Homo-oligomer: A and B are copies of this chain.
Amino acid sequence: MTDTAAQAGELDVLCVGNSIVDVLTQTDDAMLEKFGMVKGTMALIDADQAEALYAQMSPAVETSGGSAGNTAAGLASLDAKCAFIGRVRDDQLGDIFTHDIRSIGVEYATPAATDGPPTARCLILITPDAQRTMNTFLGASVNLGPEDIDKDLVARAKVTYLEGYLWDRDEAKAAFLRAAGLAAAKNRMVSLSLSDPFCVDRHRDSFREFVAGHVDVLFANEDEIMSLYQVENFDEALQHVRQDCRIAALTRSEKGSVVVSGEEVHVVDAEPVGAVVDTTGAGDQFAAGFLHGLTRGEDLATCARIGGIAAAEVIAHVGPRPQVKLADLVVQKL
């Protein structure tokens, strides 16, 4: 249901990212090898590559995705007030993305591009081990630039949350930096998700500079944080990151998460989960749960537990967004 009432007052979180429709299919390892994909990572592909890969894919299911978009969906499911900035085109996949995010009450007003490439899609191959390997055609997302960052939205949000994938294009990076600058100027928190070890690898120096200079709350998984600091083990990365930003929430799959904030360190177990079906969106939902706790003034360990509950829900089914009301789940499980 479109929630026009939400279009005023303070926001908990403003999420900024690529507007992407996911195209999910189940496959085997041979398919990944055939296309030279690295399991569990995201690769950028162009329109021709997207077409060639899609032609080889089994029947698929389409559903709204995008890292920060998924986080916004998680936050909405937790009854947080949030908004999203990201570009679609005025085409059918753009309509789907827009419908899905608005229908859960997320403010989303970035105008759809009226020309240029079509709405972004991510071809996701799910292997029997529940890993997802992603191939993103950025499409209309490449139209996101600094002019799309609505100053008022940033000012209204307790936290502005940015997905690292934006770093892959100069214009989006400029949008990202503008959002961070505006948030800092209003004494609002800036949060970043590193998104992917290869994304970190492509932009290591500028990421490190940004993390040290501007990030209040950093999200990363084990591979990403080790890649950021080019170290060989998790603990070394941990020691680095605690110097660099106010709060770092590091996820370690079945080993749970570690949260550091200066002297404060919490090692939080993973939430029990039955069969892991599809890990797509696990990091995005962890961020949603954590930020929800943070904006409600919960202590950091509780924030990590809420993140873990949200992540456990999303990995138990195919698709990157929650299928049950996370707010109810948190009441039950916390």
Contacts and interface: CB of A to CB of B under 8 A. Distances in A.
Contacts of A104: 58-59
A101 B93 CA distance: 19
Interface residues of A, number: 27
Nearest to A59: B100
A58 B103 contact: yes
B118 A54 contact: no
Given A54-B99, A55-B2, A92-B91, A61 B62 contact: yes
A60 interface: yes
- Scoring A60, A91, A321 by chain B CB atoms within 10 A of each residue's CB, the highest score goes to A60
Copies in the assembly, this chain = 2
A45 B314 CA distance: 34
B103 A118 contact: no
A104 B59 CA distance: 7
A313 B63 CA distance: 22
A8 interface: no
Interface string A95-131: 0100111011000000000000011000000000000
Interface string A31-71: 00000000000000000000000111111111110000000
B1 A56 contact: yes
A57 B99 contact: yes
Interface string A241-254: 00000000000000
Contacts of A63: 61-62
A10 to B, nearest CB: 25
Contact of A73 (B2, B59, B62, B73): B59
A78 to B, nearest CB: 15
- Scoring A1, A63, A92, A103 by chain B CB atoms within 10 A of each residue's CB, the highest score goes to A92
Interface in A284-334: 319, 321
Interface of A: 1-2, 54-64, 73, 91-93, 96, 99-101, 103-104, 118-119, 319, 321
Given A59-B64, A91-B92, 13 more contacts: A2-B55, A58-B103, A59-B99, A59-B100, A59-B101, A60-B99, A60-B100, A61-B319, A62-B62, A62-B63, A62-B96, A92-B92, A92-B93
